[in-house]
Amino acid sequence: MKIRKASVKDVKIIHKLINEFAKKGDMLPRSLNELYENLRDFYVIEENSEVKGTCALHILWEDLAEIRSLAVKREYQNKGIGSLLVKKCLKEAKKLGIKNVFVLTYVPEFFKKLGFKEIDKSRLPQKIWGDCIKCPKFPECDESALIYEFKV
């Protein structure tokens, strides 16, 4: 399997994958427009030219980034693909000098295994007032917030 930066040809596949999970309430939907605008945030993992999963690292501030839109095709789950994608995003964050990477998730245990720790959402004002305020679930968010803090 190979992890690479997503390209324009991957956008419709990413869109379909993310929105399959969104229909079940597992994550927020993403529009094609949003995906094209944020394409540089995304990685895909593929094998034999088939995209099996995706994940994005979205920078919010000088010391804060978010892992978002982690999605792995159902038939390839529990094979370590999600972990590989998150680790790739963390590696990029570290390379960029970002000290904190957070996630909002319905699966906190997955991220805890990768070194994330639960936090109160109030520690993420850039996220709350930048993105969350536009969410249909705001202010009644039912996702858990976790953060990965790089050791200095």
Task: Please answer whether residues 145 and 123 qualify as being in contact, where contact means their C-beta atoms are separated by less than 8 angstroms.
Answer: yes
Strand partners, 101: 65, 148
Judge: domain 2-149, CATH 3.30.200.20. no
Token output for 35:
């995906």
pLDDT greater at residue 144 or residue 85:
85
Q: What is the per-residue pLDDT for 6?
A: 98
pLDDT confidence bin for 143, thresholds 50/70/90:
confident
**pLDDT tens digits, residue range 82-131?**
999 999 999 999 999 999 999 999 899 999 999 999 998 877 865 554 55
Task: Please answer whether residues 38 and 53 qualify as being in contact, where contact means their C-beta atoms are separated by less than 8 angstroms.
Answer: no
Q: What is the per-residue pLDDT for 26?
A: 86
Q: What is the per-residue pLDDT for 11?
A: 98
Write down the number of H helices and E strands in the chain. 5, 7
- Residue in the structure block whose two tokens are 């034999």: 48
DSSP state for residue 140 in the 8-state scheme: S
Pick the range with the lowest mean pLDDT from 42-51, 110-119, 134-143. Answer: 134-143
- pLDDT higher than 50, residue 24: yes
- For the chain, domain boundaries: 2-149
Angstrom distance (rounded) from CA 100 to CA 94: 9
Q: Is 90 exposed, middle or buried (0-12, 13-18, 19+ CB in 10 A)?
A: buried
